[in-house]
């Protein structure tokens, strides 16, 4: 039993190589097939749970280790406490694959096809539950591994990230459990991959309006220095200099690029910041904190130019980083996180109008929630993410976040623009390809001409409802059959 748990842990850790920055996407099947092979030898539900838990613990400890940087280096939490907090958080996340493992042991059948379907359904439901429970943390969902050049990328506009993860999990189970009947699941996998390659040739959306020239700015301000009041003037000048040096019809600055509330800015600063764009009849979009008349603080974006000021307020806040969950206010006695008492923005906010393009904004990790992104469709023609990943240093966080953006572009059939503080500032095409990207940890501007798109992909029309319904149907049938026997 112990060696199996060690093996499951190592398989989960190795599976992280399927994600960015490595993107060895076939390893997703190898890591999952190894887990299903271990589960095939488990006798009890508890053995199934602990095998799945160990796999998840290896995956999350390896894949989101960058959270330690935020808590220890920038949050000021002592290293042992930060490591303990990350261990507890990853243990919580590992419960979900653990539950999938326990349910598989309880409901498995002798039929290879039934077991493969069950494995895919349980994996989908466990990942979806992880993505919604307690506001959700769907980072490292298995489907994110299948960005181009994986042929499975063609399924993303139809099934979404959870559905594609189910295809990987189910086909991996078929390969692991087949024994001598290996040929049949192998042919099924080839058919799934071939179909994905064919689906990738379909253009679900079509160009709308004139192309838009953009300058996506990367400020590269170190998180340790950003909140130093003695450097505030330097940061204001730095943002202003970047905007003035890179005029364009749309200039974008990253999340919280100005480290203070908008009503605390020097008089006339925003007018100076937007002047180059207004002279070119363009717009500036920048991340900043806003305060309402009632005193509520929002992580927000302002759209300046073209008349009225347009705003977006972040809807999906980060627990422990942007607000305190109930009973956890004591956490902030241990860490130093500026602006950690934020309020949630409205669920349905209109896109920002720039020329004849309508831009749906999302801030930081909001773009990891696919069903929230599609709420802006079909009205929005472009997607724009503002992020500040300086909290996580030079880590997997930057390339993993860019890979998430690639999946959102595929799911929506929209170009995704990204303006970040330290990386990765990029333009992602509707086919999930990275059209252009700035080197991380360098200040500069990514200039590009981007096209807006109209129409809806199948996923944008219905979201996760069909794949969730299918997975639940498989689960209900498996439970009924188990009760009969």
Q: Are residues 355 and 419 in the same domain?
A: yes
- Backbone φ/ψ region at 320: left (φ over 0), alpha (ψ -120 to 50), beta: left
Q: 431 with 331, same domain? A: yes
Determine contact, residues 305/277, Cβ cutoff 8 Å: yes
Q: What is the pLDDT of residue 216?
A: 98
11 and 73 housed in the same domain = yes
State how many domains the chain has. 2
Question: The domain that contains 294 carries what CATH number?
Answer: 3.60.110.10
Determine the distance from the C-alpha atom of residue 180 to the mean position of all C-alpha atoms in its chain, rounded to a whole number: 39
The answer to whether residues 36 and 95 belong to one domain is yes
Q: Note whether 180 and 70 are same-domain residues.
A: yes
pTM of the model: 0.95
Residue 326, pLDDT score? 62
pLDDT at 269: 94
Q: How much is the pLDDT for 331?
A: 57
pLDDT number for residue 277: 81
Do 299 and 332 have their domain in common? yes
In terms of domains, do 251 and 189 share one?
no
Token pair recorded at residue 419: 């303006």
Which pLDDT value is given to residue 335? 57
Q: Residue 440: which domain range? A: 206-456
424 with 477, same domain? no
**Same domain? 120 vs 222:** no
Closest CA to 107 of 117, 118, 95: 118
Q: What is the pLDDT of residue 3?
A: 85
Give the model's pLDDT for residue 29.
98
Q: What are phi and psi of 472, to 5 degrees?
A: -65, -35
233 and 120 in a single domain? The answer is no
Looking at the structure, do residues 264 and 384 belong to the same domain, yes or no? yes
Distance of CA 302 to the CA centre of its chain: 23
Catalytic (active-site) positions: 255, 314, 364
As a whole number of angstroms, the longest Cα–Cα distance in the chain is 75
Sign of the four-CA dihedral 135, 141, 143, 149: positive
Distances, alpha carbon 200 to alpha carbons 75, 374, 405, 433, in Å:
43, 20, 17, 12
Give the chain's residues under pLDDT 50.
Answer: none
Same domain as 388, residue 276: yes
């Amino acid at each position: 039993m112990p060696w199996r748990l060690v093996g499951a842990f190592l398989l989960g850790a190795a599976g992280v190589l399927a994600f960015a920055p490595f993107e060895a996407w076939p390893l997703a099947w190898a890591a999952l097939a190894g887990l299903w092979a271990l589960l095939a030898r488990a006798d009890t539900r508890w053995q199934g749970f602990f095998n799945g838990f160990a796999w998840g613990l290896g995956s999350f400890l390896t894949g989101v280790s960058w959270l330690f940087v935020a808590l220890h280096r920038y949050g000021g939490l002592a290293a042992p406490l930060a490591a303990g907090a990350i261990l507890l958080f990853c243990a919580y996340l590992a419960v979900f694959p653990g539950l999938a493992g326990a349910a598989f042991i309880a409901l498995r059948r002798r039929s290879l096809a039934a077991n493969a379907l069950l494995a895919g359904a349980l994996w989908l439901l466990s990942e979806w539950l992880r993505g919604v429970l307690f506001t959700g943390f769907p980072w490292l969902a298995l489907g994110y591994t299948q960005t181009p050049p994986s042929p499975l990328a063609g399924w993303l506009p139809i099934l979404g990230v959870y559905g594609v993860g189910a295809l990987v999990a189910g086909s991996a189970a078929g390969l692991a459990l087949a024994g001598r009947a290996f040929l049949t699941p192998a042919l099924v996998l080839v058919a799934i991959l071939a179909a994905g390659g064919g689906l990738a040739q379909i253009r679900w959306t079509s160009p709308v309006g004139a192309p838009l020239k953009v300058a996506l700015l990367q400020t590269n301000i170190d998180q340790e220095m950003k909140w130093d009041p003695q450097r505030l003037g330097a940061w204001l000048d730095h943002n202003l200099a970047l905007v003035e040096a890179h005029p364009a019809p749309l200039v974008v600055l990253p999340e919280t690029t100005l480290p203070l509330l908008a009503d605390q800015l020097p008089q006339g600063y925003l007018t100076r910041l937007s002047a180059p764009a207004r002279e070119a009849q363009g717009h500036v979009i920048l991340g900043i904190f806003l305060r309402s008349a009632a005193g509520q603080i929002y992580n927000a974006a302002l759209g300046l130019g073209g008349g009225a000021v347009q705003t977006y307020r972040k809807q999906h806040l980060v627990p422990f980083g942007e607000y305190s969950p109930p009973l956890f206010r004591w956490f902030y006695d241990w860490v130093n996180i500026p602006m950690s008492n934020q309020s949630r923005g409205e669920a349905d906010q209109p896109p920002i109008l720039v020329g004849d393009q309508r831009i749906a904004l999302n801030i930081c990790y909001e773009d990891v929630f696919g069903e929230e992104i599609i709420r802006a469709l079909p009205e929005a023609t472009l997607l724009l993410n503002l992020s500040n990943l300086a909290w996580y240093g030079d880590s997997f966080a930057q390339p993993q976040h860019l890979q998430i953006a690639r999946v959102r572009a595929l799911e929506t059939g929209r170009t995704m623009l990204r303006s970040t503080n330290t990386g990765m500032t990029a333009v992602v095409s509707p086919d999930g390809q990275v059209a252009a990207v700035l080197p991380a940890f360098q200040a500069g501007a990514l200039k590009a001409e981007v096209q807006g798109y109209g129409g809806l992909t199948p996923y944008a029309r219905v979201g996760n409802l069909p794949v969730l319904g299918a997975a639940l149907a498989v689960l209900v049938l498996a439970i009924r059959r188990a009760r009969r026997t």
